């Protein structure tokens, strides 16, 4: 883990993301916001409590899947929608 990548409050993680997220969730505090793409989302799908999906209405080719790993079916509840 790189604690000071040059941006205050930003931590860059190297290594096991699942173990790190589980450790963060055991502590009180603010939510955990992860950015990283479909591979990271696929690895962490069992740990995701809230999924924020942003859609840009642009057609630009094949694109990438939302989750790069096999997805376990689960029911999601729409909490909020904008636009």
Cα-trace Rg, the chain: 15
HSE at residue 48, side-chain half, CA atoms within 13 A, is 19
Asked if pLDDT for residue 10 goes beyond 70, the answer is yes
For 21-69, write each residue's pLDDT tens digit: 888 888 888 777 777 778 888 888 888 888 777 766 666 667 677 777 7
pLDDT value of residue 57: 65
pLDDT value of residue 39: 83
Number of H helices and E strands in the chain, helices first, is 2, 0
pLDDT value of residue 49: 82
pLDDT value of residue 4: 54
Its pTM stands at 0.57
């Amino acid at each position: 883990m790189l604690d000071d990548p040059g941006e205050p409050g930003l931590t860059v993680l190297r290594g096991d993301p699942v173990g790190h997220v589980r450790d963060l969730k055991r502590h009180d505090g603010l939510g955990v916001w992860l950015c990283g793409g479909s591979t990271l989302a696929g690895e962490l799908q069992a740990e995701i409590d809230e999924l924020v999906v942003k859609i840009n209405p642009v057609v630009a080719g094949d694109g990438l899947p939302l989750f790069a790993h096999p997805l376990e079916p689960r029911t999601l509840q729409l909490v909020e929608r904008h636009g």
